[in-house]
């Protein structure tokens, strides 16, 4: 077992229930090419006008990452492959920690390397 080298540990919290929520890709993920729509600009404009063209904020498992500033997927250090979004931790929601000023942390996994995880945070 690896012992952490910090003075104070956060209390453990058990995740017992996830609530389904609407989750949409942000601008960069939408136009990246993974989502194909014949009228991409019109579809995005319609979603944006409705206030729905953004990823859900808060803690979540899967879905689309909420990028505080711009898209920042990490890359696997061994394979160079872009990692895939797995989990999002919002500041001071369920974890008593602020990732910078109103920051959000992301945990990503490598599709090619089960031993590689990426963790990053961004703030305003």
The residues spanned by each domain of the chain are 27-122
pTM for the full predicted model? 0.73
Checking if the pLDDT of 41 tops 80, the result is: no
Outline where the chain has alpha helix (H). 27-30, 40-49
Determine contact, residues 62/69, Cβ cutoff 8 Å. Answer: no
Beta pairing partners, 43? none
- Looking at residues 32-58, what average pLDDT do you find? 67
Q: What is the pLDDT of residues 54-108, one digit of tens each?
A: 788 888 999 999 888 888 899 999 999 999 999 998 877 777 777 677 788 899 9
Q: Alpha carbon of 95 to those of 7, 44, 49, 71: distances in Å?
A: 17, 33, 32, 23
The size of the chain, in residues, is 124
Quote the pLDDT of residue 124.
66
């Amino acid at each position: 077992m690896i012992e952490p080298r910090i003075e104070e540990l956060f209390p453990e919290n058990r995740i017992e229930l996830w609530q389904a929520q609407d989750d949409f890709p942000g601008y960069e993920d939408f136009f990246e090419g993974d989502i194909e729509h014949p009228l991409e600009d019109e579809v995005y404009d319609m979603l944006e006008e409705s206030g729905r063209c953004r990823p859900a904020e808060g803690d979540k498992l899967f879905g689309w990452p909420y990028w505080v500033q711009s898209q920042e997927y990490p890359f696997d250090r061994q394979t160079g492959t872009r990692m895939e979004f797995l989990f999002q931790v919002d500041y001071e929601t369920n974890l008593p920690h602020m990732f910078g000023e109103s920051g959000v942390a992301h945990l990503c996994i490598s599709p090619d390397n089960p031993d590689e995880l990426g963790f990053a945070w961004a703030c305003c």
